[in-house]
């Protein structure tokens, strides 16, 4: 008798990014097979907690994971410390495949005598909606831009000088900014709406980050950040009609407006600093740099 297939199915109940109808159909079919099935309401939550269920799936002689995009699944398990051996574990994306295709690929053996399969469930029972970055180590080049840019302490530096996601709960819900500045599309947010940040395959012709950092350093974004930090309201127009309207950092980086609104003035100023030294006239980065230069000149005199 062959080893029963060990299956994990994620319902993505926090963000609803997978087809619930397809998920229901797969569950109905699996309830009549002899596979060992566990339904999780949120794979991201299991990964953030390092749940031992992921170690069990990774160690099984034959296993399958049915969840979001396969690249996201792969690196969620790796982030939890349980990398998958894909010679033993098959990955299926509910964001790409329909129920019939997944069931045909699983080829799960029917339960003897039509017995009902007992399906286990794992529920994410915290108030935190598991939103955090996952690093695709096959693409990451250790440039550390994510670590230098993030304001919230989500990333730290490992002993071998790599950026790691050490505090996933510190990430701001729905903020994908670090992924949008990553030059290699190596940062995944499985609950995001757009590829490849959502863990979908990165196009072969993809070249550079989703955000132009040089453009980000120009004056409009920083002008708006300075006004926000000073408590001024943003004006939708300018006196000079020939000048394009200012670009909201929420548009450029994908940062939700409510996240920006919750930032302190100091955090907003740090956006300017951490994106790298800005060349915008009058920017606080330049002011600080000029002050440092003046102090150096004074010391030299």
CATH architecture of 131-210: 2-Layer Sandwich (3.30)
Residue 292: pLDDT band (50, 70, 90) is: very low
Residues 6+ apart with CB under 8 A from 215: 252
133, 148, 281: which is closest to 220 by C-alpha?
Answer: 281
Three-state secondary structure call for residue 170: helix
Which H helix or E strand runs over 76?
helix 70-79
- Give the CA angle between residues 244, 247, 250 to the nearest 5°: 165
CB 256 within 8 A of CB 250: yes
pLDDT at 14: 83
Distance (Å, whole) CA 46 – CA 128: 12
For residue 52, the tally of other CB atoms under 10 A from its CB is 11
pLDDT at 78: 97
Residue 108: pLDDT band (50, 70, 90) is: confident
Q: How far apart are the first and last CA of the chain?
A: 87
User: pLDDT by residue (tens digit) across 221-236?
Assistant: 445 544 544 454 443 4
User: pLDDT by residue (tens digit) across 15-24?
Assistant: 888 888 999 9
Across 235-265, b (16+ Cβ under 10 Å) vs e yields eeeeeeeeeeebbbbbebbbbbeebbeebee
- Domain residue ranges of the chain, discontinuous segments joined by +: 6-122, 131-210, 214-301
Distance (Å, whole) CA 45 – CA 178: 20
């Amino acid at each position: 008798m062959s080893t029963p297939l060990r299956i994990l199915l994620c319902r993505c109940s926090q963000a609803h990014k997978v087809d619930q109808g397809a998920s229901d159909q797969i569950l109905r079919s699996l309830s009549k097979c002899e596979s060992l099935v566990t339904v999780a309401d949120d794979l991201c939550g299991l990964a953030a907690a390092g749940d031992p269920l992921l170690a069990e799936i990774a160690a099984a002689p034959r296993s399958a994971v049915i969840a979001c995009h396969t690249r996201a699944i792969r690196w969620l398990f790796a982030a939890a410390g349980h990398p998958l051996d894909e010679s033993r574990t098959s990955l299926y994306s509910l964001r790409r495949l329909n129920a019939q295709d997944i069931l045909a690929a699983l080829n799960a053996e029917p339960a003897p005598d039509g017995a009902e399969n007992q399906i286990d469930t794992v529920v994410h029972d915290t108030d935190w909606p598991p939103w955090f970055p996952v690093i695709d180590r096959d693409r990451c080049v250790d440039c550390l831009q994510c670590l230098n840019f993030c304001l919230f302490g989500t990333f730290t530096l490992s002993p071998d000088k790599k950026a790691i996601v050490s505090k996933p709960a510190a990430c701001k819900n729905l903020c994908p900014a670090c992924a949008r500045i990553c030059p290699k599309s190596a940062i995944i947010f499985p609950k995001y709406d757009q590829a490849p940040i959502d863990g979908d395959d990165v196009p072969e012709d993809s070249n550079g980050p989703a955000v132009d950092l040089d453009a980000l350093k120009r004056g409009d974004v920083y002008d708006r950040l300075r006004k926000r930090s000073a408590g001024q309201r943003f004006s939708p127009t300018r006196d000079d009609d020939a000048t394009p309207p200012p670009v909201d950092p929420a548009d450029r980086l994908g940062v939700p407006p409510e996240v920006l609104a919750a930032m302190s003035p100091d955090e907003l100023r740090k956006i300017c600093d951490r994106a790298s030294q800005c060349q915008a006239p009058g920017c606080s980065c330049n002011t600080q740099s000029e002050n440092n230069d003046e102090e150096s000149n004074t010391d030299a005199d």
